[in-house]
Amino acid sequence: MENNSEIFNQIVEKRKSYRVFDSKNKIPDEVVKRSLERAILSPNSSNMQLWEFYIVKKEEDIKTLGSICMNQSGAKTASQMVVFVCRPDKWKHRQQAMVKNLDNTFKSKDAPGAKGAYQYYEQLIPMMYNTSFAFAKDALKKVFVAYKGLKKPFVRDVMSKNITIVANKSVALAAQTFMLSISAEGYDSLPMEGFDSKRLKQFLNLPKKASICMVVSVGEGKPEGLYGPRFRLPYNDVVFEV
Ligand SMILES: Cc1cc2nc3c(=O)[nH]c(=O)nc-3n(C[C@H](O)[C@H](O)[C@H](O)COP(=O)(O)O)c2cc1C
């Protein structure tokens, strides 16, 4: 097997949060596109792909988004920005796509392995993501989960409040793949959660149930955009062998 660990290490080490970008050197559109294509390959919960990615690159839009991102220099000087959005409200569309994918994978619903897969996407997924009558459903789920978990392990975080967390985990992984790809392409990035989510949703014309995971600025980082050497806690403070 080919060992690419040295290359991967370089990419990981090179990725740092830059707070100032060179406004003269624009990032090529293809770099952003390739990096988003890679981001889309990220692992995600149940392969539901409850994500959307909004590229912002017009000068006036960067200005507006810069102000929504609290006028942070890493936002205002960005060459382009990508908004990583969670769309749990699109669960029905994604579920239908997954069922269609099962139809293409299995010859029939009785084929080996098909039954469980169809059951998962046709029954369990709607139970998790359909938030109509959430209050009543959550009350029932609580009793059900407590009962099922009495004697053996059972997945407990299936309440309506967990849906946004589930979606955010997957979208954050996509953001990380994106940033590592930007680093591999020779450019720099800055992830941000310092923004006015209400104004940002209005700017992107997003519905109430969408939520913003992160805004990522990209471009050519300037040396003064690095605020000091990288600091991390010692390995043994955060890694434990069980
Ligand atoms: C979810 C998330 C939100 C962040 N929000 C901001 C932000 O709003 N502004 C900022 O300057 N940096 C932000 N950062 C960058 C972190 O401060 C940075 O990743 C951290 O200090 C470690 O530095 P490094 O990325 O250079 O390794 C954010 C990072 C993450 C992962």
Could you report the per-residue pLDDT of 201-237, keeping only the tens digit for each?
A: 999 999 999 999 999 999 999 999 999 999 999 999 9
For range 67-95, the mean pLDDT = 98
Q: Does the C-beta of 17 come closer than 6 Å to ligand 1?
A: yes
Ligand 1: residue whose CA is nearest its atom 31: 191
Q: Are 39 and 181 in contact (CB under 8 A)?
A: yes
How many CA within 13 A on the CB side of residue 82?
29
- The CA 12 to ligand 1 mean position distance, Å, reads 15
Ligand 1: residue whose CA is nearest its atom 16: 17
Q: Does the C-beta of 106 come closer than 6 Å to ligand 1?
A: no
Indicate the pTM of the whole model. 0.96
Determine the pLDDT at residue 107: 84
Determine the pLDDT at residue 114: 95
Q: Does the C-beta of 114 come closer than 6 Å to ligand 1?
A: no
Q: Does the C-beta of 193 come closer than 6 Å to ligand 1?
A: yes
Three-state SS for the chain is: CCCCHHHHHHHHHHCCECCCECCCCCCCHHHHHHHHHHHCCCCCHHHCCCEEEEEECCHHHHHHHHHHCCCCHHHHCCCEEEEEEECHHHHHHHHHHHHHHHHHHCCCCCCCCHHHHHHHHHHHHHHHHCCCCHHHHHHHHHHHHHHHCCCCCCCCCCCCCHHHHHHHHHHHHHHHHHHHHHHHCCCEEEEECCCCHHHHHHHCCCCCCCEEEEEEEEECECHHHCCCCCCCCCHHHHCCCC
CB neighbour class for 147 (10 Å; exposed up to 12, middle 13-18, buried from 19): exposed
Can you tell me the distance from the alpha carbon of 41 to that of 107, in angstroms, rounded to the nearest whole number?
26
> What domains are defined for the chain?
16-90+163-226 (3.40.109.10), 91-152 (no CATH)
Q: pLDDT class for 1, splitting at 50, 70, 90?
A: confident
Q: Does the C-beta of 191 come closer than 6 Å to ligand 1?
A: yes
Angle between helices 162-184 and 5-14 (to 10 degrees): 100
Summarize pLDDT for 27-54 with one digit per residue, the tens: 999 999 999 999 999 999 999 999 999 9
- The CA 18 to ligand 1 mean position distance, Å, reads 9
Q: pLDDT class for 93, splitting at 50, 70, 90?
A: very high
